[in-house]
Amino acid sequence: MSATIRVASFISLMLVSMQSWAEYQLNMRPGVTSFSQGAYGIHTMVMWICVGIGIIVFGAMIYSIIMHRKSRGAVAAKFDDNLTVELLWTIIPFIILAFMAVPATRVLLAMEDTSNSDMSIKITGYQWKWHYDYLAEDISFFSNLATPVEQTQNKATKDNNYLLEVDNPVVVPVNTKVRLLLTSNDVIHSWWMPAFAVKKDAIPGFINESWFETDKVGTYRGQCAELCGKNHGFMPIVVKVVSADDYQAWVAGKKQLAAAAAESATKTWTRDELIEHGKTVYATNCAACHQVSGEGIPNVFPALKGSAIATGPAAKHIDIVTHGKTGTAMQAFGTQLNDADLAAVITYERNAWGNNMGDVVQPADIKAAR
């Protein structure tokens, strides 16, 4: 209902004032990199050439429709061929195309030149999240959708960055040529950042290259652009471009976090701590398939609530979460999560939704099982 009202108000607004166009994005955005602006320029040029040709062709048709109607007494002329015009409308379009091809080639060559980069980030697509690896910094992390599921299910108000919010954004310094190395862990994904005009497929078993450099500090949002399964619409990309100082501070912070995580993997946790942390890990990594309720989707994703594995021996449970199950969507989370996260999520699964096993899995158990 609210959408109906929105459409109605939108149409009336459009009619009333041209200012309303600013609110609704009609055209490509120029973006913040040299080649996103190049792509925008070519897009604009080709579009206006098309509009010009359209005005001529459609104008001739409309003139003919109005003036050459039988009901106005028009009598059909006898001509049915003319070599000169046939040649003209073959050659002129050819020249126009050549005119478009020159700048297109120039921008493309610049886009594909990944040499002399200042830093490299390896990006790996997963069903359905991105993994970033800062090759020189020893920083790596997963970046998951952060929009609460209640918003998707229409139980909470959607905010402005609905479906375009992640837990761990990519952070890069301004005025730096960042080379991207793209690959995938499972199916083909495509890393698309509209503001940079970077769209490159992440293909399992192969590495693609791309790059960007911008002088505009800001937060940029994009999405996966290649159908990659159920949650293809739910793996956004957020890049924060910051000053060099802020970047250094972020790097230091990330390294501290990594050290803290390493420490937490060796200590012994209480059951409550594990369950509390496990609930967060579960929501980020498991709920997409097994659902928040633990009930899964019948015949597609198995339920954990009351399942043989979650209510059976802990060793088997640890094994399947750590090593995955080949031939299914169940991934080997041992390569994605640390010992503490794994211990927490397994403990949570064994004690949630009425799976009252009462037992506790510690990081040390995971380490032993790896």
Which residues, 276 to 335, sit near another protein by CB under 8 A? Answer: 297-300, 327, 329
Distance CA 232, CA 224 (A): 7
What is the Cα 212 distance to its own chain's centre? Answer: 16
Does position 126 bind another protein by CB under 8 A? no
Secondary structure of residue 229 in the 3-state scheme: coil
Q: Minimum CB separation from another protein for residue 354, in Å?
A: 23
- Of 101-109, 167-175, 275-283, 336-344, the window that binds another protein (rule: CB under 8 A) is 101-109
DSSP secondary structure string for all residues of 150-178: HHHTTSS---TTTT--BSS-EEEETT--E
For another protein, the binding residue among 34, 117, 120, 151 (CB under 8 A) is 151
Secondary structure of residue 64 in the 3-state scheme: helix
The phi and psi torsions of 173 (rounded to 5 degrees) equal -75, 155
Distance CA 326, CA 11 (A): 52
Q: Which two tokens stand for residue 162?
A: 């609905």
Distance CA 269, CA 273 (A): 6
For another protein, the binding residue among 32, 33, 111, 305 (CB under 8 A) is 111
Q: Which is nearer to another protein, 39 or 340 (CB)?
A: 39
For another protein, the binding residue among 12, 17, 55, 100 (CB under 8 A) is 100
Does position 258 bind another protein by CB under 8 A? no
Does position 47 bind another protein by CB under 8 A? yes
Q: Which is nearer to another protein, 197 or 360 (CB)?
A: 197
Does position 71 bind another protein by CB under 8 A? yes
Q: Minimum CB separation from another protein for residue 300, in Å?
A: 6
For another protein, the binding residue among 10, 141, 142, 250 (CB under 8 A) is 10
Q: Which is nearer to another protein, 186 or 273 (CB)?
A: 186
Q: Minimum CB separation from another protein for residue 370, in Å?
A: 22
Does position 178 bind another protein by CB under 8 A? no
Q: Minimum CB separation from another protein for residue 276, in Å?
A: 28
Q: Which is nearer to another protein, 1 or 136 (CB)?
A: 1
Q: Pick the closest to residue 121 from 180, 190, 52 (CA basis).
A: 180
Distance CA 346, CA 324 (A): 13
Q: Which is nearer to another protein, 57 or 260 (CB)?
A: 57
Which residues, 187 to 206, sit near another protein by CB under 8 A? Answer: 187-188, 190, 192, 194, 197-201, 203-206
**How far, CA to CA in Å, does 264 sit from each of 252, 269, 304, 319, 338?**
18, 8, 26, 21, 10
Does position 264 bind another protein by CB under 8 A? no
Q: How many CB atoms lie within 10 A of CB 200?
A: 19
Q: Which two tokens stand for residue 52?
A: 């010009």
For another protein, the binding residue among 12, 93, 268, 335 (CB under 8 A) is 93
What is the Cα 104 distance to its own chain's centre? Answer: 26
Q: Minimum CB separation from another protein for residue 334, in Å?
A: 18
The DSSP H or E segment spanning 220 is strand 218-224
Q: Which is nearer to another protein, 144 or 264 (CB)?
A: 144
| C-beta separation of 107 from 197 below 8 A | no
Q: Minimum CB separation from another protein for residue 330, in Å?
A: 12
Q: How many CB atoms lie within 10 A of CB 92?
A: 11
